[in-house]
Structure 1
Amino acid sequence: MKKLMHIEEAIELLQCLVFAKTDQHLDKVQIDVLRGAWENHTYDIIAETYCFSSAHVKTVGAKLWHLLSKVLGTKVNKKNVQVVLKRIARDWQQESSRRISSSPILELPGGQVPLDSPFYVERPPIEACSYHAILQPGALIRIYAPRQMGKTSLMARILEQARWQGNTTVTLNFKLANREVFTSLDKLLKWFCVSVGKSLGLSNQLADYWDEILGSKSNSTDYFENYLLAEIDSSLVLGLDEVDMVFQYPEIASDFFSLLRTWHEKAKYGDRRSYIWQKLKLVVVYATEDDAWLNLHESFNVGLPIALPEFTQEQVQDLARCYGLNWDADQVAQLMSLVGGYPYLVRTALHHIYYQDFTLEQFLPKSATQGRVYGEYVGRQFLKRQQNRELYTAFAQETSSPIPLELDCL
């Protein structure tokens, strides 16, 4: 992010940072006071503008500056709030520029972007909010977006941040589970418990904790509370990737996600066992390309939700620079008119332009047909739509159109 000059950007940033630190959002009155302070208005003018008493505005303001000081780790008051936020934005931009200036070893598009890669594009304030959130006891972060939007790459960076702070991290990809694992909740939770334990270097102790009378949700809770979490001194950050695999099995999905929610909430109970569950932090990653995720989204609405957006024009321009392309805004807009800000498609385009020494004008017509640059991606979209007869006709219209049309990511 190269600038943070507008109040709406400041509000978005602060809402994310405050939520990550306190699990709450700024309320309307606090936002009104922030707007007034951003415009250098006095408390009396703010009160008159938003129909509050001056005394009430001053009280809200004092509490707001105290809250922001705790969240940002620096003194914040009515006079310097704009300066503080601009400094944070500038620091982020300098770090981003430093990474971009590193000599790139060109990588193939697709898959997780390596931690040391200059091709990772930050989408502020998402990274900063996530890094704050994962440091909180019992944290839970949900990262969701269509496929190839950068979910796993973000998760890897959150886990790296957690490791820097002394946490133990484990990544578990649900695609590693055999189909048989998903035939019952009991099998899924046994696989889950043993897989996490193996990653921690702990032996399989299911026989000591699995009681058929109590049920698999209670058994897995005991396994984590009395064995896995008890055996490690630090907090445990679990990165759960490709969790949408569970969506395909609705008979077990609701129980599995309600269990994760219960574990997250146990950290807040304040009883003698809460401190154990405060050691468990979850980063849950899932794609949003199947309708089943909507049911989950409503019942699993806990923790910090991160809906990954497409790249902005500025972010696409930054990525182009990583490929040595000094594009102006018009050239970036030309590419985005074809692929939007979809990370995989943008990077695929830049990769082909760089390696095949195309100009943008040469690349655009080559990419518009199946079997060329985007053949694999278009083919997947075709198959997905063909499975739904109601969408097949619409897809035929899209592919036969003489002008680019925006495709629904879902």
Structure 2
Amino acid sequence: MSPEDAITLVDKLLSPYRLTAIQEVVFRRCWQGSTYAQIAASEGYDADYVRVTGSRLWQKISQVLGERVTKKNIHAVLRQQAYQLHQPATPDPWWPGADSSDTTFPGSPLPLGSSLYIERPPVENQAMGELLKPGALLRIRAPERWGKTSLVNRLVAQAQKLNFKIVRLNFRQADAGVLANFDKFLRWFCANIAQQLKLTAQLDDVWNIDLGSKVSCTNYMQSSVLNPLHQPLLLVIDDLQAVFEHPVMAQEFLPMLRVWHEEAKNLTEWGYLRLLVAYATEAYIPLQIHQSPFNVGLPLRLPAFTLEQTKQLAQRYHIPWDQGLTSLHTLVEGHPYLVHLALYNLSVHKMDLTRLINEAPQQSGIYSDHLRSYLAIFEAEPTLARTFYRVIEQDTATELEPMAAYRLESMGLVTLVGNTATASCNLYRQYFGGRLGVESSDYAV
């Protein structure tokens, strides 16, 4: 936030009063990091006068906001106020004007305004609060069909209301030839950013073979994208794990993101960049601790639904709560997609709850397509099947080799704690326990 934007916000908070000339001088210089002594010396005021003016100003703002405001916390306080002022005036800001009859078949991102979006506090507010910080790096991690894209869409919508420029990239859209060549990939990366911002790419003007692809890409971002902007740019990278599958490229690209994040401490233009990366699981490739983007910024793991959140969703589907729904929640252990699919069938197709739960791990159950899609992967990859069977066969957490852990967590089949894994829900234990261990000798361990 610029000093002018901060002053405008303070005037709005203090309305109908406005900052006096001396208050505006003191506020602007304090915002920029000056001490009272420095302000007095450079502006020609008495030092005690400046100190008293500042003290009274913070007291006035504190009274209006109902919280203590000082020179040291004014940036954080006003960032939060700016965010709150742009929230829709509805009980739930993540589904304003929602239609309670929304019964879209589960599996796709929930549209903005859907009543079926369940907020998972404090994730949403923490995420938006982080994106307000110059040079932010927000990392959202969750398995497939866990609600990442629905959350990202809402963060993007909020950022647009705050006058952010938006660029969204999905690395799964890059051609195989692009992902196989680091220089081509970075040119694809920059060209997509330029296209979405309606810039003339002119990559050849800054691309220097002697400097290398990473420096050329960084120079392009700084000189051609960030320098002309003078406003925040939210760069959203979906399916970051696509680069994990190309270890040589990942070992070059991921440290570059970290450098961009850290440059915000040194250069104003890099403070405009806010990085939001979404991925299913951590990289399984080795990265030096000082190069990895996975130990900086704000990490947010999107959790499973709590029992209370499942109850909220049932209410929005107009389904009365009973003990059977508690059993359903336990069966899928709050897996968002599996909860949605069950409640959809109970609401739209009027299925019997007891029958739904009994048939859930069977071929006749509502989850059969979802489960068979994983079974097809296991048929093609017997080693992965044997590894997963070892996880569900044991009562205690199982240690996995990195590649298997990466694959199974990204599919949402296991929950990782350190290097050990457990099956992510009882449904998977029941369905795959019989099929991987008994029905096919190909999977026998």
Shift of 1:92: 11
TM-score, normalised by the number of residues in structure 1 = 0.71
Match of 1:257 among 232, 235, 254: 254
Shift of 1:230: 2.6
Residue 163 (1) aligns with residue 160 (2): yes
Match of 1:199 among 186, 196, 201: 196
Shift of 1:337: 2.0
Aligned to 2:207: 210
Alpha-carbon distance in structure 1 between the residues aligned to 2:114 and 2:126: 21
Q: Confirm or deny: 8 A CA contact 1:96 1:122 kept in the other structure.
A: no
Could you list the per-position Cα deviations for residues 116-139 of structure 1 after superposition, in whole angstroms to 9, with x for gaps in the alignment? 111111000110111111111111
Aligned to 2:363: 370
Alpha-carbon distance in structure 2 between the residues aligned to 1:206 and 1:123: 41
Which runs of 4 or more aligned residues in structure 1 lie more than 4 Å from their structure 2 counterparts after TM superposition? Answer: 64-74, 96-101, 293-298, 395-398, 403-408
Partner of 1:193: helix, strand, or coil?
A: helix
Residue 227 (1) aligns with residue 224 (2): yes
Q: Give the letter aligned to residue 379 of structure 1.
A: R
Could you list the per-position Cα deviations for residues 91-142 of structure 1 after superposition, in whole angstroms to 9, with x for gaps in the alignment? 9994279859743321111121111111111000110111111111111100
Shift of 1:287: 0.7
TM-score, normalised by the number of residues in structure 2 = 0.65
Shift of 1:267: 0.3
Aligned to 1:320: 314
Higher relative contact order (CA 8 A, sep 6+): 1
Cα distance change, pair 109–71 in 1 and its aligned pair in 2 (3 A): same
Could you list the per-position Cα deviations for residues 54-86 of structure 1 after superposition, in whole angstroms to 9, with x for gaps in the alignment? xxxxxxxxxx99678874669xxxxxxxxxxxx
Shift of 1:356: 1.3
Shift of 1:182: 1.1
Aligned to 2:284: 292
Cα distance change, pair 215–376 in 1 and its aligned pair in 2 (3 A): same
Q: Confirm or deny: 8 A CA contact 1:244 1:293 kept in the other structure.
A: no
Could you list the per-position Cα deviations for residues 341-389 of structure 1 after superposition, in whole angstroms to 9, with x for gaps in the alignment? 1101110111111121013212112322135311222123334443415
Aligned to 1:352: 345
Alpha-carbon distance in structure 2 between the residues aligned to 1:154 and 1:293: 27
Alpha-carbon distance in structure 1 between the residues aligned to 2:94 and 2:123: 17
Alpha-carbon distance in structure 2 between the residues aligned to 1:213 and 1:344: 49
User: Alignment RMSD, CA only?
Assistant: 3.2
Shift of 1:203: 2.3
Shift of 1:334: 0.9
Aligned to 2:325: 332
Aligned to 1:119: 116
Partner of 2:228: helix, strand, or coil?
A: coil
Q: Give the letter aligned to residue 370 of structure 1.
A: Q
Aligned to 1:17: none
Q: Give the letter aligned to residue 141 of structure 1.
A: L
Alpha-carbon distance in structure 1 between the residues aligned to 2:78 and 2:224: 36
Alpha-carbon distance in structure 2 between the residues aligned to 1:110 and 1:294: 33
The percentage of counterpart residues that share the same residue type is 34
Q: Confirm or deny: 8 A CA contact 2:263 2:270 kept in the other structure.
A: yes
Partner of 1:238: helix, strand, or coil?
A: strand
Aligned to 2:145: 148
Aligned to 1:108: 105
Aligned to 1:277: 270
Q: Give the letter aligned to residue 307 of structure 1.
A: R
Cα distance change, pair 223–309 in 1 and its aligned pair in 2 (3 A): same
Q: Confirm or deny: 8 A CA contact 1:141 1:284 kept in the other structure.
A: yes
Q: Confirm or deny: 8 A CA contact 1:382 1:395 kept in the other structure.
A: no
Q: Which runs of 5+ in 2 are unaligned?
A: 1-67, 80-87, 395-424, 431-445
Shift of 1:394: 3.6
Could you list the per-position Cα deviations for residues 229-267 of structure 1 after superposition, in whole angstroms to 9, with x for gaps in the alignment? 233342110111011100100011021010011001000
Cα distance change, pair 177–387 in 1 and its aligned pair in 2 (3 A): farther
Aligned to 2:55: none
Q: Which runs of 5+ in 1 are unaligned?
A: 1-63, 75-90
Residue 305 (1) aligns with residue 299 (2): yes
Shift of 1:338: 1.4
> How many pairs align?
321
